[in-house]
């Protein structure tokens, strides 16, 4: 194995261990907050687990540290951070709205499956999916009382949510740029999947390409950052004090070692090429 990849693996392993440690500290034997605020506690605990899962997925898969995959994951992490902060302003009502919208969306999906079955689709897999979805909804709320709502679950735009939480920069410099990757807009595709044709007679049209730029460790830093900001919002809400190293600090403690190992291998490779 190339020593560079081994160095990346060691770096990623340290980040993974830190992510899990931070999550476990806050979710094992969960005894924070008002015990009667079941929905709020459930939502916040699940959201930090989701954010940790996204960061962990990136750390476990270093090949995602490119402009092709990482921005899609980071956009989801930014979205979650905004959601968490916005719910925390009015936790009781907004956590209920958040859950009810999700249940309504699942009810609508289940009804589509049931319609296929009623129309004569003879597929046992669809029937099992519909039954599992129905059971999941019923485990939380009687199916007949679940309301299906369309549009934004929050009833407002992401931009306004950021304004309300006091972080417009998060919208301008993270949510919007990463959205370009999610929606395959030209200001992403044109940078990462297009190059100018070599033939000057072709009017400088673009040719499809998969840009080879890896590893971009800043993407992993951003994942650590958005996870840390979410954990900070969690800790602030529950007045919790953590003894675990924050994700960005863990990143900074290991990134120099990764850089030194990577550059050392690269230097040795260049020297060998010169001898040849």
Does residue 225 form part of some domain? Answer: yes
**Could you tell me which residues are beta bridge partners of residue 208?**
194
Please give the span between the terminal C-alpha atoms of the chain, in angstroms, as a whole number. Answer: 22
Tokens representing 185 are 């807009």
Q: By the 8 A CB rule, do 146 and 110 touch?
A: no
Report, in this order, helix, strand and coil percent for the chain, each rounded to 5.
75, 0, 25
Q: Is 139 helix (H, G, I), strand (E, B) or coil?
A: coil
Does residue 244 form part of some domain? Answer: yes
Chain centre distance of CA 106: 21
Does residue 12 form part of some domain? Answer: yes
Residue 206 host element (H or E): strand 206-208
Residue 145 is classified by DSSP as G
Q: What's the pLDDT score for residue 273? A: 47
Q: Is 157 helix (H, G, I), strand (E, B) or coil?
A: coil
Does residue 29 form part of some domain? Answer: yes
| Structural domains of the chain, count | 1
Residues lower than pLDDT 50 in the chain: 1, 273, 276
Q: What's the pLDDT score for residue 4? A: 78
Describe the crossing of helices 70-89 and 91-118 by its angle, rounded to 10 degrees.
Answer: 130
Domain encompassing residue 255: 3-182+214-275
């Amino acid at each position: 194995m190339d020593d560079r990849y081994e160095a990346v693996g060691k770096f990623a392993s340290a980040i993974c261990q830190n992510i899990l440690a931070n999550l476990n500290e806050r979710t094992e034997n969960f005894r924070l907050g008002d015990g009667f605020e079941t929905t709020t506690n459930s939502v916040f605990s699940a959201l930090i687990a989701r954010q940790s899962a996204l960061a962990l997925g990136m750390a476990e898969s270093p090949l995602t540290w490119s402009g092709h995959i990482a921005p899609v994951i980071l956009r989801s992490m930014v979205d979650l951070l905004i959601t968490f902060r916005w719910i925390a302003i009015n936790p009781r009502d907004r956590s209920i709205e958040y859950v009810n919208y999700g249940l309504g969306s699942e009810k609508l999906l289940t009804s589509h499956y049931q319609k296929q079955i009623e129309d004569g689709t003879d597929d046992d897999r669809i029937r099992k999916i519909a039954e599992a979805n129905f059971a999941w909804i019923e485990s939380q709320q009687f199916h007949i009382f679940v309301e299906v709502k369309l549009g934004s679950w929050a009833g407002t735009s992401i931009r306004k949510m950021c304004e309300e939480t006091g972080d417009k920069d998060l919208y301008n410099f993270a949510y919007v740029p990463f959205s370009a990757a999610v929606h395959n807009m030209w200001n992403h595709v044109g940078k990462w999947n297009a190059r100018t044709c070599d033939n000057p007679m072709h009017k400088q049209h673009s040719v499809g390409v998969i840009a080879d730029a890896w590893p971009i460790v800043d993407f992993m830093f951003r994942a650590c950052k958005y996870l840390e900001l979410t954990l900070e919002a969690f800790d602030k809400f529950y007045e919790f004090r953590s003894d675990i190293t924050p994700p960005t600090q863990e990143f900074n403690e290991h990134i120099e070692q990764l850089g030194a190992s990577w550059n050392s291998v690269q230097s040795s490779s260049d020297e060998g090429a010169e001898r040849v």
